[in-house]
Amino acid sequence: MSSDILFVSNGSGKAIFLTGRDVLVKSFCSLSDTCSSRDSCRSCSLINAAKNHLTGTKSESNVKELDGELSAGIGEYKIGRNVLLKGMGLGSCIGVILSDVSTGICGIAHVLLPGASEKGETKYAETAIEKMFEDMVKMGARKSRITAKFAGGAQVFKHMNLDMLKIGDRNAISVEETLVKKNIPILAKDVGGDVGRNVIFNPADGSMIVKYTTKGDVLWL
Amino acid sequence: MTNLDNLTDVEMDVLKELGSIGTGHAATSLSQLLNKDVYFSVPEVKVGEIKNLSSEFIGEVVAGVIIALQDLEQKKSGYLYIMFPEKSAKKIAGDLFGMDELDEEMYASTIMEVGNILSSSFCDASADFMNIILLPSPPSFAVDVPTAVIDSVVSQMAKNSNHIILFETALSSDADIEIYLALLPESCLLDDMMKILGQL
């Protein structure tokens, strides 16, 4: 394959590498805060492992391949098996991730509005979570093993003259209530604040990667 | 009600025309404000599904100003969304003050004011040419990627519809300034526009 997505881990850190034509294109690394080379990574044991895997020079046991990526647009959800999930440009929206690590089945919903929809529209938190949950079970996920992580619900406006734009908090509360009601354990969350987020989910180890849009900080949750 | 799913070519042209008139006025105001030539592109009208919205905007961080539009009966008419890519925003604020560095508060309020001026002239144009009176709200301001800024507005509009009309145009000047303007009309504004322009 010419565009693999690799997950590499070792004792000190882990990273996702997006590759194209056997070249590393982009990385999300749990060490980026402490790493001296920051985003302009040149060489470290994680990168070397990924490169060795791509060129096939050495088989590395700590490298896992993911089967592609899925991105959920505003108000929709996507599910898959062993794929990288993305929810980009979340402001007041929330990226809700459900996953069953034992089967690798996972899903992400890009929630736009709090509450439930009578018409089954997945832009509403409750409806989206319920539908995604059912679809995952149909696909083979085990109900009792499904866990949740979510992030988003920021209030990006520094100067706010329209009260109705304060929807992030309501979204976050609605998502949390729905998960509690459905007895889905919440393993991690990162909500609120005043900065937008990109949310990525790595099914290989079940970690949610939150990248702030304007600060460049990366969280692994 | 105007059906968003299948607008005719004529209706699209009507939207484009309003966009041209509105941005024309906005460009004139900006030109006077900056004392520079300002060019603007022929607006593009897009009717899209909300889920694909993120692909419609530029990918970089912007200073975004959002202005709600109301008619005389205080009905919600829609939103104007003005995006200043960060470099342009800094340049505009710097030029207006004749300084290179501005503190954050000054910067934010300058960009909001520019947003105010642009939206007022946009509203003037729609009143002059179509007799549709739009009253702009005070601006709301955020610095983030375009989708993160707009998603709370979209969530308001999404209660009624899964589609959104966006018309986008770019203002630019010699001095590397770029501004993107988008109008997100509510269906009542769309109806009014069609009615009035249909009579011409």
Quick check: B151 pLDDT over 70?
Answer: yes
Interchain contact, B144 vs A121, CB within 8 Å: no
- CB-based contacts of A57, cutoff 8 Å, min separation 6: none
What one-character DSSP code corresponds to residue A113?
B
How confident is residue B65, by pLDDT bands cut at 50, 70 and 90? very high
pLDDT per residue as tens digits for the range B7-25: 777 777 877 777 788 888 8
Give the nearest partner residue to A112 out of B49, B138, B151, using CB atoms: B151
Per-run averaged pLDDT (10 residues), chain A, 221 residues = 74 81 79 61 76 77 83 91 91 93 92 87 91 93 92 85 76 93 93 91 89 83 85
A93 is known as an active-site residue? yes
Interchain contact, A159 vs B154, CB within 8 Å: no
Give chain A positions within 8 Å (CB) of B49. Answer: 73
B80 touches chain A (CB under 8 A): no
Give the nearest partner residue to A159 out of B112, B144, B158, using CB atoms: B112
What one-character DSSP code corresponds to residue A183?
T
Structure tokens at A93: 């929206």
Give chain B positions within 8 Å (CB) of A197. Answer: 148
pLDDT for the residue A1 = 45
Full DSSP string of B3-53? -STT--HHHHHHHHHHHHHHHHHHHHHHHHHHTS-EEEPPPEEEEEEGGGG
Beta carbon pairs, A and B, within 8 Å: 116
Least confident of A41-45, A213-217, B26-30, B170-174: A41-45
Give the mean pLDDT of chain B: 82
Query: What ipTM, to 2 d.p.?
Result: 0.80
Interchain contact, B149 vs A113, CB within 8 Å: no
pLDDT for the residue B104 = 84
Interchain contact, B68 vs A162, CB within 8 Å: yes
Which residue of A lies nearest to B147 if distances are taken between CA atoms? A89
**Structure-model confidence comparison of residues B168 and A154, the more confident one:** A154
Give the nearest partner residue to B148 out of A121, A123, A196, using CB atoms: A196
**Structure-model confidence comparison of residues B101 and A100, the more confident one:** A100
Interchain contact, A162 vs B150, CB within 8 Å: no
